[in-house]
Amino acid sequence: MSLSATTPAAKTTWLVLVAISLCHMINDIMQSLLAALYPLLALEFDLSFWQIGLMTFAFQVTASLLQPLVGLVTDKRPMPQSLPVGMGSTLLGLVLLATAPNYAGLLAGAMLIGIGSAVFHPEASRVARLASGGKFGTAQSLFQVGGNFGSALGPLLAAFIVVPLGRPSVAAFALLAMLGMLILNRVGAWYGALARAQANGRGQVAGHGLSRRHVTWAIVVLAVLTFSKNAYTASLTSYYTFFLIERFDMGIVPAQQMLFLFLAATAAGVMLGGLIGDRFGPLVVIWGSILGVLPFTLMLPYMGLAMTGVVSVVIGLILASAFPAIVVYAQALLPGRVGLVAGIFFGFAFGMGGIAAAVLGVLADARGIIWVFQACAFLPLLGLLTIFLPGRRQLAS
């Protein structure tokens, strides 16, 4: 009998949640170094915008294709020790990025990091739910905020370590990955013990009264909302530094510091979204986040330097709050399929971000980076589709 992945531990296991969040931070520091390296790689290898976009595509689409498969398999058969294995793949990709002699090697390194992400996220998201003690939104946010904080630290570390010391210094971050592997080995032991204990009982999965067709439609709507969020986020994470350099004639280091402010705001937004979601329900957060960010995305391309920083922080804070709410809402739609939900939405987020980054790179080459930011500003309008999602009472019935 398979483990019921929706059944949490009786009490919130904060030590496990902090550990998995810390490892998510380490994992995403490794991943964010890829985007933070783009200006250096563009100079060293004479890369165009479409080649930079293709690297993001290689990383994110590799992750998106594998994550749902990993989630589907681990829903039926949990694999606690796959967590350090995923971190190991990320470590190898990072070393290859530091030493690759050509563009093909850079692409291979990006793909290895994508594989590590695909293995890590579904099982790590399951651990967060199992350790939640029923506080699903808070647990999911704590798990995700580690990743967002890691994404924010990546460009800052790149600005103060990689830019002065050069691309080979990226290999030094392998020590962080090794620390993550050690922590994940201990988390895997806790997860394995809980999985065995629950497998000896009867897994209870709470249901709802929605039809399969209604659930499918709701998942499609959530996927479109995730696309709108991640396509816009991709414009910032991949091209924000180039936008600042072109519009305000900034240097690489101050531009990456501005990117850090945006990414730090997304980390705060993720935590806020989980707390509000546990109090008022995830649907409230989804409405307020994706549609509520629209006025600020429309303003961003036309602001002065100081206001660009302020508006970017507000966008990160509001927009990032949606993702934990989307994941928790999807888990309620598909009870007992925590790994599949994590695989779909973490994977879909990576995949859509990768496709968007590649397309936006082509558009930036053709129309200019400022035009790209002006066009992407309208993406949050897709948040209107939230009206088609079933309400809280329907899910509880």
What tens digit of pLDDT does each residue of 153-193 get?
Answer: 877 787 788 878 878 888 888 888 899 999 999 998 898 88
Residue 5 forms part of a structural domain: no
- Here the CATH number for the domain that contains residue 246 is 1.20.1250.20
Residue 8 forms part of a structural domain: no
Q: pLDDT tens for residues 47-74? A: 888 888 888 778 877 877 788 888 888 8
CA atoms within 13 A on the CB side of 37: 25
Residue 205 forms part of a structural domain: yes
Q: How confident is the model at residue 5 (pLDDT cuts 50, 70, 90)?
A: very low
Residue 316 forms part of a structural domain: yes
For the chain, what percent of residues have pLDDT higher than 90?
19
Of residues 396 and 257, the one with the higher pLDDT is 257
Using DSSP, state whether 206 is helix, strand or coil.
coil
Task: Calculate the alpha carbon distances from 347 to 61, 253, 372 in Å.
Answer: 8, 30, 24
Q: Which domain holds residue 189?
A: 14-396
Residue 306 forms part of a structural domain: yes
Of residues 285 and 39, the one with the higher pLDDT is 285
Tokens of 233: 């986020």
Question: Residue 310: exposed, middle, or buried by beta-carbon count in 10 A (0-12, 13-18, 19+)?
Answer: middle
Residue 4 forms part of a structural domain: no
The residue among 311, 330, 348 whose CA lies nearest residue 129 is 330
Residue 2 forms part of a structural domain: no
Domain count, the chain: 1
* pLDDT confidence of residue 301: 92
CB 123 within 8 A of CB 138: no
* pLDDT confidence of residue 351: 67
Tokens of 382: 């897709």
Residue 3 forms part of a structural domain: no
CA–CA separation, 54 vs 125, rounded Å? Answer: 28
Averaged pLDDT score across all residues of the chain: 83
Helices (H), the chain: 14-36, 38-45, 49-76, 82-99, 103-130, 136-157, 163-165, 174-199, 212-248, 252-280, 282-286, 294-299, 305-320, 322-333, 338-367, 369-376, 392-396
